[in-house]
Amino acid sequence: MADLDALDLALITALRSNPRAGVLQLSRLTTVARATVQAHLDRLEQSGVITGYGPDVDVAAAGFGVLAFVTLEIHQGALEQVREELAAIPGVLEAYAITGVGDVLCQVAATSHADLQQTLLRIDGSPSVARSTSAIALSTVIKRRDLPLLTSRPAARGTRSPSFR
């Protein structure tokens, strides 16, 4: 787990506001030397905190306005097979192995209810899936976010420029 300091958080915040910003612009936004910004970005990338720079895509705006969450109960020991089968279905945006009533939770997008039904039939057609339960999302209450979580923990202290001490 990476200990994020104030500069790391400032860089992540700046990148959220300016996703196309380069190192020089980030240096100006954070009032920190360019080499320091580059070193922090390199460390954040190498530690896996920053995994990419976009673009973030709104699938609803791209024509896939039906969003559903599907809980799967799978047969014992079939997680790898289900992973491969789900990866082959374009409408499956993400899937997680979970605890609780189900075994896998999927986020699925479709162009219409009929398209969603076809995707669900394809998922249910897997010999590894014993049962599925679906819930269609009506609206987004809170979009995916990470800054409130990252900034909720006290930042690590280190030798940084005066504005980040």
pLDDT tens-digit series, residues 71-108: 999 999 999 999 999 999 999 999 999 999 999 999 99
Please state whether the predicted TM-score (pTM) of the whole model is above 0.85.
Answer: no
Extended beta strands in 50-136, E state: 66-74, 92-97, 104-110, 129-136
In a domain, 51, yes or no: yes
What pLDDT, on the 0 to 100 scale, is given for residue 154? 75
One-letter amino acid of 144 = R
| Whether 127 and 81 share a structural domain | yes
Ranges of the chain whose pLDDT falls below 70 = 1-2, 155-165
What pLDDT, on the 0 to 100 scale, is given for residue 153? 82
What pLDDT, on the 0 to 100 scale, is given for residue 40? 96
For the domain that residue 81 is a member of, what is the CATH number? 3.30.70.920
| Whether 40 and 96 share a structural domain | no
In a domain, 155, yes or no: no
In a domain, 152, yes or no: no
For 41, the domain range is 1-56
What pLDDT, on the 0 to 100 scale, is given for residue 31? 95
What is d(CA 132, CA 27) in angstroms, rounded to the nearest whole number? 49
What pLDDT, on the 0 to 100 scale, is given for residue 53? 86
Across the beta sheet with 104-110, the strand order is: 92-97, 104-110, 66-74, 129-136
Torsion region of 112: left, alpha or beta (phi above 0 gives left; psi -120 to 50 gives alpha): beta
| Whether 111 and 49 share a structural domain | no
In a domain, 151, yes or no: no
Task: Looking at the chain, list the stretches that DSSP marks H as alpha helix, in order from N- to C-terminal side.
Answer: 6-17, 23-30, 34-46, 79-87, 113-124, 147-152
| Whether 94 and 128 share a structural domain | yes
In a domain, 20, yes or no: yes
